[in-house]
Amino acid sequence: MKKILFAVLLVSLFAYGCGKVVDAVNPNASTTPATPPSTATSVTLSGGNVSASGTGVSFNFSAVDQDSTPLTNITLGNITAEVYDTEPSAASIQGISAKGVINVAFTDLTSGANTGKPIAITLTLDKSGSMGFDDYTYTKVTTLEAAARKFVDLMSSNSQAAVVVFDSGVSLEAAMTTDKNVIKTAINTREAYGGATAVYSAISTSISEEAKVNATNYTRAIIAMTDGQNNSGSKTEANVTAEAIANNIPVYTVGLFDNSAEATSYSAPLKRIALTTTGTTDSYYEVIAGVTALSAGQSVHALGALNTIYTNLQNALSNAYSSTCSLSSGLTAGQSYWLKLYLNYGSFIKTLVIPFTAK
Res 292: pLDDT: 47
pLDDT at 91 over 70: no
329 and 292 both lie in a single domain? no
Res 268: pLDDT: 96
349 and 235 both lie in a single domain? no
pLDDT, mean of residues 259-274: 93
**175 located within any domain:** yes
41 and 105 both lie in a single domain? yes
107 and 179 both lie in a single domain? no
175 and 306 both lie in a single domain? yes
175 and 203 both lie in a single domain? yes
**185: number of CA atoms within 13 Å, CB side?**
9
Average pLDDT, the chain: 86
pLDDT, mean of residues 107-120: 94
Share of the chain above pLDDT 90, in %: 66
CB 165 within 8 A of CB 189: yes
**352 located within any domain:** yes
The tens digit of pLDDT for each residue in 36-67 reads: 999 999 999 999 899 999 999 999 999 999 99
The boundaries of the domain holding residue 135 are 118-318
As for how many domains the chain has, the answer is 2
Of 1-5, 26-30, 37-41, 288-292, give the lowest mean pLDDT range: 1-5
91 and 40 both lie in a single domain? yes
Task: With CA atoms as reference, report the closest residue to 319 among 192, 154, 205.
Answer: 154
174 and 311 both lie in a single domain? yes
Task: With CA atoms as reference, report the closest residue to 253 among 220, 286, 279.
Answer: 286
143 and 231 both lie in a single domain? yes
Tell me the pTM. Answer: 0.87
Phi and psi based region of residue 345 (left: phi greater than 0; alpha: psi -120 to 50; beta: remaining): beta
